[in-house]
Structure 1
Amino acid sequence: MAVLLTGCTTQPNTSGPPPTTTTSAPPAVKEVPQRPLRMAGGLALSYVQPETAARVLCSPSAPPHPVLVHFEPDIGGRKPNCRITDARGRHAIDLSLKQASSTTFTGNDKIADHDAMVTEKTGKVFVETPVSDAMNIREISPQWPILLAEADTADATLLREYLAKVLPELTKDADRLAVYPGGGVDLKSVTVTPDVFHDLAKPLQALQLCQIAKETLGLKPSRVTENGVCVAKLPDGSDLTFRPEPTSRTKADYERTVGGRPASADNRDVRVRLRDDIPLDIIFSQQHESFGEKVVAVLGQK
């Protein structure tokens, strides 16, 4: 935490008590634990889990911005939000991802050659710009394809400068994704990457879950979706479903273990925390726990 103390110098006053000197401190800057991060951009950024998106938005630019140097991603697991401040917390911009309200985007400005909608209201400046090609934006989707940036009007120049530095990276496609209207994804063989599974776009997470179902469980994958769901067929023809889900649960909320990892169960499903430092669970049916345990053995933190 960086704290600035300010004061003033006065002449001695012999006629009464010494004058009071007020001390002011800037807002506290929050220290957030760091972790290795697989970067995402473009369409893939709109599909990664919220904690990953928050960390991507809070990744320092290169070369660093001369003023905005402190990064506070929301690592609670639910919101893709990031706050970036100067070293003392006096100047700040907030970045987040939001769902598109239509299938087209029309801006009134450009930042780093990207269309942007810039508005001002009640002492704030807001900038919206797509992180992926507007043609890929669908109105009904679990994506957050629009980057929303805001700052105090007094920091509008800082905001534009920072966006000009980071937009080329945030809009650069990191992975090639083929998602069809309705959320379908082509089934195909992929390499399972346990070390970065949590940072993958959800369609890729679904493909890796189905690859594990095929290689480790000996089952036939039947369907994957854009929100991370893998469905495989059991020998009796019924469905086995795995899905990743962000969570705000603490360690105390998991009352048991599966495959050595913290787990919790309700009347229907089991959820297993894959890693201690990342708010992401794998969910599967209670009746299929033996299959789920094998998936956890592949993806879970060792």
Structure 2
Amino acid sequence: MFNALYFRTFITLVETGSFTRTAQRLEMTQPGVSQHVRKLENYLDKTLLERKGRSFTLTESGRRAYDYALKLFAEHEQFRHGLDDDSLDSGECRIASPGSVGLMFYPFILGQQQMHPNLTVNYSFAFNHEIVNDLLEGRYDIGIVTEAVNHPDLTCTLWHKEPLCLVVPADFAGNTLSDLMGIGFLNYYDGINHANTLLRTNYPGEFRSMTHFRYQGFTNEVSMVLDAVARGLGFTVVSLLVLETSPWQRQVKALTLPHAVNEELYLLRRRDSVLPKRYEKLLEGFCKQRIQERTPLIPE
């Protein structure tokens, strides 16, 4: 029968190199240590040690058993910490968000994992409707969406705000609505909605609808839309998160506008769920970092 205690004794024996020191460390008798090793050898049906008087060397099976035992107990500790809902720095987090959020939130989480090895995160980049379905089916514990969701089985709360940026090619010299109409609009998921909100607020006397703009193309990957802008193919409206993480930052620029408009991000979770405290630390930590790092691209 499998007995984890036998593996623990075997690990200690290999690490100390002595039956006597193993017995002292585990507060056992030396015959008890020998008995555990024999029972482990019987269970595996392999010889683990080559005994030479009071010393020993590991057989090939013994080396493999030792490696397996280390992995076994490491996974056990990770699992045990994962059951602790009060732990801030250990356990599993299952999160889904649009790419515009994940471009910066996911690297932030990776940094937390580097500092806290017992923290694991499963992160999915998805569209709003996919996130809602995944939450309802239990694939994720929290979802971040760009629109408020009204569903009887979900709670939806405002989590964070990010400035929207009107992004044009770096050599673009205009700033009027007519100038923007001249180069056309590059769309992505949420692009039309963001552009409508930002342009209506900043060009109230002129702007009517995005249908008046020449349509220059669409991509379902928001991080790639700035590649098209950098090539001079048009303008777009994205969150500051997207602009700050873009490899095309130097080939584009955000126009300075009189009125700031924010993208509102909402936190979704199942109504019957109780989230471990580690989620709260990740979510609040990211928001605080964003406030500290906020660049002066967009006037407050």
TM-score, with structure 1 as normaliser: 0.25
Question: Which is helix-richer, 1 or 2?
Answer: 2
Greater relative contact order (CA < 8 Å, ≥ 6 in sequence): 2
Pair member with larger Rg: 2
TM-score, with structure 2 as normaliser: 0.25
